[in-house]
Structure 1
């Protein structure tokens, strides 16, 4: 095989998803209830006994930020409350068993989307797709959907035995690319692959069985980035770009499934053609059973099986799940069934994270599913948790700025004795941390906090673009290492670190001269707070400085 940056990691095997025991779930539920109760107790004390009348605006802002963070905690706990997997089933052996009409084999289309990725990386995905084990009564075709319309890509597709589809214009970007292919193919089911998605041989054997239920619209499998670099000693993983998706897929997506709220994440998903077209037809006031001539007319009016949107996967998921003509449901399959490439370099990481944030916020502001008819309230809460996590960019800056303001002005955001403060705060912090460890069974919960701070400037940029109705970029995540333009991405982090260090130095200088009115406890608490913030802010600069061992 040709040598790539990910070649040294080809031997890696995916983790095997496990379900927590009932004893573990009971412990998690107990700690979660304790955490929420203590959090409510702490906030009641903050609002009723600690507001500082000498700095009321500052005090209210900090208390409000803490309250909004607590709301996020409630939504996150609802998100991950309990798993409820759909039992796997053997693949259907006939069209009738898959809820399909007519005779003949079950037809599956493997759609590999690409735009500007190296053709030889796409070639690996084609080979993996062609190596799929086909269940009895099933036939499959592999298509390369090249939005770059490249002769070199067409040649690779022909060489590898895949069918090639391109188009002259990039209308709708990836969603438009999929639409173009779906209107030119006729598979009963289709699998979405990115350019770097290499399906495992048993993908169809392990996912088609869910479609024995005719209400299942799609099945999403976890993303597994197998190329996360190793530590310096060659062991374990050094996830410098905080891109390991284990927490999102194995915990959040898997547990949202209990309320039909796990959403499509594009790559590694398999869809019932009828479901996406039925949802698209609903946008025009028609159903999937419309006459053929009506279907053709709607297609001519730009029927969109996947909505033309930077986050076409989650957007279409919401529309399908709220389709009153369904009811369609999704299935989250907890086992890894493919391998993919992670962003190598801050530029690729930033492009991906900006797209995620901008797409989600655009849906929230311009087609809010929380007020959309057809979604059950529990499902709405799950999507609320997704949007709330991005809206945290509005109150996280307050918590980052609070110790800086306190040290520079000598003003406390609350009025309470140091002992009383810790008596209320420490139980909340300790129990909440224990609850997160128990609830995020086997996953590193610290990465979520680091990621929220590392992506803060990107999320604020995305929010500003959405408010101004500016388009979020559709650029695909690069599949090769890119280390340029790091300073342009991390300058906000460096600025905040510099301001925090300056505030700490100023407070220490004032204290050394005996000119500070700050008490020692106040000084120590805020210095610890500011040190913690600097550590959190340093994740992005540390990633910018990282280079793989061979490149040093």
Structure 2
């Protein structure tokens, strides 16, 4: 009978899953029903037929595992309830409103870099909404002078306060008292709103019962899972599934979660509840729940209407999730969703489910330790045999796997959910338990954004538990092998079942180690792929020339350009360039590197100082006109093996800064360096190396320039390498010439110097025309020295 059930349910699941690819809308619900049936049968079997019978240790282990599985089953039922009939999002154009309401845009900041705030301010300026109906407030809890200047440049109000009580919530509440807009839009410091943010959301407030509208938190950089595994094009951001799928499901039951940013509120509702909730480190969840308890409607929009920065390092992501975990538990302890007046039954269930979710670390640790406890210690968590496992567990797993695959539409898979949970499990287990029992206080801390590191770093502290678990898993494999081949123990059915379980856990543990390898991030700002044909303007032999170019990628600070050599004149230095983009004012910049092939030139262009208006246009071009950076969730698929292969292929390679050098030509000719008297950084190095002759010492005493002979190794448009008998320190300035290499005097800066076979190999970067003003005093004061190069 049992085998007939297993064969029948597995056959039905496979058939319906196959049909769902053809008619998804028709067969998705039958697949969910089959998944639930198979899991109900499995849970009944687990409760009545698999509980350990002997020993209190086995009983405790069995109870913990069974309880974890029952909680997982209930969470699965809630999940499929959310996605059973997704809510259809309505769109209400502004024209249907009685009037165009006023909106205050709050940007909450504490210590984020000005470069990040600048993008967000520019994004707010670009919002497609009557300018006389909006006001930007830069809510600066750091009270910084540079932030005040930035606010003035972009026409924003710099809002500060004397005390800093209640962190972000207190900051926003203070701004509420000093603003008057009918609606309040909330943005984190790194979240850049898109043009349509208000036109897509304000109309939804036509219903007077709507209190707030939440839009997704999307990201224009790669999170640690994507970046550290080289899978940015293969897997979506870890938060996408919640932001776009689960929030839409919660909207059906008026249980949309406010996630702290990218949301817009009706001011009268905030006034009614006394502003944003305080006293917890996640004021967002509490604020949304309080509003819903008052009977107001809350809506979600799945369209990406703002884009920000995900945590760049694995350590920063763990700190962020630690704060979220503990903040949600804090919130539930202060505002218990089960007893809070005004919430519906479904709202209570969904908020309780959201609270239980943050104990996933504890649940995952139980799943990881159960097979190891059996193999290494003989502790039984369940009492069964392999045939029964195949008859009851396999249909439930297959149903869950395939139905989740269809419902998630590529935004998430069970294996990646397993990886996400496993990687964070040890840290969040501690976080959840310490917060639940009040063992440790945690203050609000801003997640670092915009920080870059040029080094590969292994976040050992966070994965020490994973390393221990990997070691125990390997020890379990050895134990089974010894028992089987040395002692000829024949109980391989149970051992084999637990080893397969341990292998599945091992996949998650190993990928957690991969994610903890923080790969170098050399870029100080994110680049957007462009691939559009535009034009550049440059000066050639005293005349202005405009030529076609392709913008390969671009950031708010510069661009990478590609030029067809067959369409260009020869011997052009490309020192100063003007990038001409349709609909934008010409952007002036200077070349920082150039690379050459037979067919084309690739140029790195750094923008010169741009006005706030120009900068706003650049941000508009990158975030609104450029579609290539938008995340295409449904097209992303990544298998475990493919991700592992990418990491093994790229993870340990030396990754140079993303900063190309000019094409270098081998020279092997003598050259001469002028040592300027005011460059004491040089003289000290020369004296320490005993590299000064008596005549040169006289030059030093009389403050006169002199030359030292060196050997020119190679030469490019932006710099050269030399071999000399003395060391030079970084950033010291020199003047170099070589008659044999036909190189007139060039002013340069020392970039690096290293000892090599008794001499010093030194890299020089030529000083551009833009920087040469810094050396004018040298030219004037030591005009006699310049004659050496005539």
- TM-score bracket for this pair, using the shorter chain length: 0.7 to 0.9
Contact 1:346 1:486 (8 Å CA) reproduced = yes
1:348 Cα shift?
1.2
Q: Which residue is equivalent to 2:429?
A: 460
2:158 equivalent to 1:158:
no
Counterpart-to-counterpart distance in 2, 1:47 and 1:244: 34
Give the SS at the match of 1:106: coil
Q: Closer, same or farther in 2 for the Cα pair 1:370/1:28, shift >3 Å? A: farther
Further displaced range: 340-349 or 523-532: 523-532
Counterpart-to-counterpart distance in 2, 1:22 and 1:206: 33
Output the TM-score relative to the length of structure 2: 0.59
Q: Deviations over 1:459-515 (max 9, x none)?
A: 222223323433333111111246778222222222222222222222323333125
Contact 2:43 2:70 (8 Å CA) reproduced = yes
Q: Which residue is equivalent to 1:90?
A: 93
2:419 equivalent to 1:450:
yes
Q: Which residue is equivalent to 2:169?
A: 175
Match among 297, 312, 315 for residue 344 of structure 1: 312
Give the SS at the match of 1:36: helix
Give the SS at the match of 1:219: strand
Contact 1:72 1:385 (8 Å CA) reproduced = yes
Q: Which residue is equivalent to 2:344?
A: 376
1:330 Cα shift?
0.7
Q: Closer, same or farther in 2 for the Cα pair 1:421/1:233, shift >3 Å? A: closer
Contact 2:32 2:80 (8 Å CA) reproduced = yes
Q: How many residues of Structure 1 are paired with residues of Structure 2 in the alignment?
A: 495
Q: Which residue is equivalent to 2:603?
A: none
Q: Deviations over 1:317-367 (max 9, x none)?
A: 0000001xxx31111111111111111101210111011111111222332
2:447 equivalent to 1:477:
yes
Counterpart-to-counterpart distance in 1, 2:292 and 2:228: 45
Q: Closer, same or farther in 2 for the Cα pair 1:522/1:481, shift >3 Å? A: farther
2:487 equivalent to 1:514:
yes
Q: Which residue is equivalent to 2:43?
A: 43
Q: Which residue is equivalent to 1:419?
A: 387
Contact 1:217 1:275 (8 Å CA) reproduced = yes
Q: Which residue is equivalent to 1:276?
A: 270
Identify the structure with the greater helix proportion: 1
Contact 2:329 2:436 (8 Å CA) reproduced = no
Alignment of 1:23-172 (within 5 A): 24-54=24-54, 55-91=58-94, 97=98, 106-135=101-130, 139-172=133-166
Contact 2:139 2:175 (8 Å CA) reproduced = yes
Q: Closer, same or farther in 2 for the Cα pair 1:319/1:337, shift >3 Å? A: same
Contact 1:231 1:238 (8 Å CA) reproduced = no
Q: Which residue is equivalent to 1:357?
A: 325
Counterpart-to-counterpart distance in 2, 1:273 and 1:21: 45
1:549 Cα shift?
7.0
Q: Which residue is equivalent to 2:674?
A: none
Q: Deviations over 1:26-84 (max 9, x none)?
A: 42322222222211211222222222323433333322322222122122222332211
Give the SS at the match of 1:37: helix
Match among 519, 544, 550 for residue 547 of structure 1: 519
Q: Closer, same or farther in 2 for the Cα pair 1:60/1:464, shift >3 Å? A: closer
Match among 288, 311, 331 for residue 317 of structure 1: 288
Counterpart-to-counterpart distance in 1, 2:465 and 2:483: 27
1:422 Cα shift?
0.9
Counterpart-to-counterpart distance in 2, 1:513 and 1:235: 43
Q: Closer, same or farther in 2 for the Cα pair 1:149/1:231, shift >3 Å? A: closer
1:245 Cα shift?
1.9
1:22 Cα shift?
12
Alignment of 1:192-203 (within 5 A): 192-203=186-197
Structure 2 unaligned segments of length 5 or more: list them: 1-19, 523-654, 657-790
Structure 1 unaligned segments of length 5 or more: list them: 1-19, 99-104, 281-303
Identify the structure with the greater strand proportion: 2
Give the SS at the match of 2:427: helix
1:238 Cα shift?
6.0
Q: Which residue is equivalent to 1:5?
A: none
Output the TM-score relative to the length of structure 1: 0.84
Contact 1:51 1:59 (8 Å CA) reproduced = yes
1:530 Cα shift?
0.9
Q: Closer, same or farther in 2 for the Cα pair 1:439/1:385, shift >3 Å? A: farther
Match among 474, 477, 494 for residue 501 of structure 1: 474
- Answer with 1 or 2: which has the greater Rg: 2
Q: Deviations over 1:190-228 (max 9, x none)?
A: 111111111111211111110111111111111111211
Q: Closer, same or farther in 2 for the Cα pair 1:168/1:492, shift >3 Å? A: farther
Counterpart-to-counterpart distance in 1, 2:110 and 2:64: 45
Q: Which residue is equivalent to 1:293?
A: none
Q: Which residue is equivalent to 1:306?
A: 277
Further displaced range: 327-336 or 220-229: 220-229
Contact 1:35 1:431 (8 Å CA) reproduced = yes
